[in-house]
Structure 1
Amino acid sequence: MLKKIIRNCIEEYQKNKIDTLKEELQNEIEASKVNDTDLDSQSHRYQALTAEVDTSARVVEAIAAMNHLKKIPVHKSKSITEGSLIEIENMILFVGINTQKFHDLGHDIMGISVSSPLFKTLENKSAGDMVRFNDQRFHVLSVK
């Protein structure tokens, strides 16, 4: 049950990220509409168009991540794989897509992808295992 709730929190986080990026993109599109005869405006327009291209790419990446998240099967596993919910000291990790750490349901939550160095360290570990990552040791409390 907790796994589904956390997954929904991450989906909501990603949805908000996409909405924010789309709003940022709209602002950059508006900023690129300037007077073409003014040299300062042309310079500003170039900067705005560059930002627009960058933000467009980030929107595409965020949507692709959301689509990937929706395809991850919900399964029970004793060892850490894609789709696992991992409880460690002071944090819950969901293996699916990368997210910034955020606080919800009284927990710090973070999404990690299977290509992340942290996942590579955690892969196939189980509840009770002690893990070392970036000179820090932590205990895997549970895997769901």
Structure 2
Amino acid sequence: DVATFADRPVDALSGGQRQRCWIAMVLAQETDLLLLDEPTTFLDLKVQVDLLELLVSLAHTQGRTLLVVLHDLNLAAAYADRLVMMKAGRILHDGPPETVFTADNLKQVFDLDAQVIREPLAGRPVCVPVKRTVAETASFTSSAATT
């Protein structure tokens, strides 16, 4: 849905509109392998979901291989066939979301305290961060200021 931007100068487009145009240009090349680094940046949630559903469809119906870097953990777990968790340039976990996306792995890789639950329709894992107490937040803020 980027044809409506055709008559507008690039500098008149919003960040999300530009991102959609870049993705459209990549898709128009019809390569068998797509490497996408944060393709959902600047996009509203609905557009993020539409894009990821399009990418999954391309992978599954046209046999395209996609390597997508996402920092939105829940989107990654919801749409990936395979997750790779890296830390300091090393692969620590690799496999289907159901086995890789765990509270222990999120803590190890991202130092994130979270619960992982299953969304009710497809059963995909979802990360729910554990809220820190006021004391933990104050400790975190003061230690972050000294680093």
Q: Same fold (TM over 0.5)?
A: no
TM-score by length of 2: 0.30
TM-score after normalising by structure 1:
0.30
Q: Which has the higher contact order (CA 8 A, sep 6+)?
A: 1
Structure possessing the higher radius of gyration over alpha carbons: 1
